[in-house]
């Protein structure tokens, strides 16, 4: 879509879509920066430059907004990772690319949401379902990036453990910049994973 009509104004449905997208992106930013407690619908609407009423038109509850936001950004991330010629850029290893998924604002936002969900009953089931969907998609991407053959016994668990490691590296990066240590771990594990997949 994105078409502009003859008078130069975007059609109503495009404006509505743009508002929705701005709300989702602001929600992820606010969650990553202020945590669940500090991220109300009002805070997100203000960050997005949208009225509270408009925000509630798109997302009736706070839970709707934040689960939709994490899902939207995860989908955008998958698209970005799949699109450019589907190959690996020379400068970044497959393990490095997978670990990168867990060190940006999306992981920080998702982490805030998972942890809030562990204490808030109204958030629990939705976030559990969301985590399962994102987990499956990430696993699928990892198998493709690594060129792994899951019909070989153990390969599935090798890939899963690698993604668990990536998640742990994301957590280690929460309070301090862990990038120097992380680069050394990634280099070593790239070689361990290659050996393991070739066994």
**Chain position carrying tokens 């982490």:** 111
The residues in 112-131 that bind a copy of itself, with binding defined as CB under 8 A, are: 112, 114-119, 124, 127-128, 131
Which stretch of DSSP H or E encloses residue 172?
A: helix 155-172
CB closer to a copy of itself, 41 vs 111: 111
In Å, the largest CA–CA distance within the chain is 64
CB of 197 to a copy of itself, least distance (A): 10
DSSP secondary structure string for all residues of 111-138 = HHHHHHHTT-TTTHHHHHHHHHHHHHHH
Cα 150 to its chain centre, rounded Å, is 24
Residue selected from 40, 56, 78, 158 as contacting a copy of itself according to rule CB under 8 A:
158
What's the closest the beta carbon of residue 173 comes to a copy of itself, in angstroms?
10
Using CB under 8 A as the binding rule, the residues of this chain from 130 to 149 that contact a copy of itself are: 131
Task: Enumerate residues 17-56 that contact a copy of itself by CB under 8 A.
Answer: 33-35, 37-38
Which is nearer to a copy of itself, 54 or 196 (by Cβ)?
196
Q: How far is CA 5 from CA 1, 10, 144, in A?
A: 11, 6, 41
Binding region for a copy of itself (CB under 8 A) out of 44-52, 71-79, 82-90, 167-175: 167-175
């Amino acid at each position: 879509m994105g078409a502009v009509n003859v008078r130069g104004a975007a059609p109503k449905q495009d404006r509505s879509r743009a508002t929705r997208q701005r709300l989702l992106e602001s929600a992820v930013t606010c969650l990553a920066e202020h945590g669940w407690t500090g991220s109300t619908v009002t805070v997100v609407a203000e960050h997005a430059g949208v009225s509270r009423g408009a925000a509630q038109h798109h997302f009736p509850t706070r839970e709707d907004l934040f689960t939709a936001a994490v899902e939207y950004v995860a989908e955008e991330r998958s698209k970005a990772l799949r699109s450019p010629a589907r190959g690996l850029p020379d400068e970044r290893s497959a393990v490095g690319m997978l670990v990168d998924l867990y060190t940006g604002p999306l992981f920080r936002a998702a982490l805030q949401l998972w942890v809030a969900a562990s204490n808030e009953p109204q958030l629990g089931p939705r976030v559990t379902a969301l985590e399962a969907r994102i987990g499956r998609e990430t696993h699928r991407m990892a198998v493709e990036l690594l060129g792994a053959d899951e019909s070989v016994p153990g390969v599935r668990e090798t890939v899963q453990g690698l993604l668990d490691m990536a998640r742990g590296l994301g957590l280690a990066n929460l309070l301090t910049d862990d990038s120097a240590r992380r680069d050394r771990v990634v280099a070593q594990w790239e070689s361990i994973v290659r050996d393991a997949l070739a066994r």
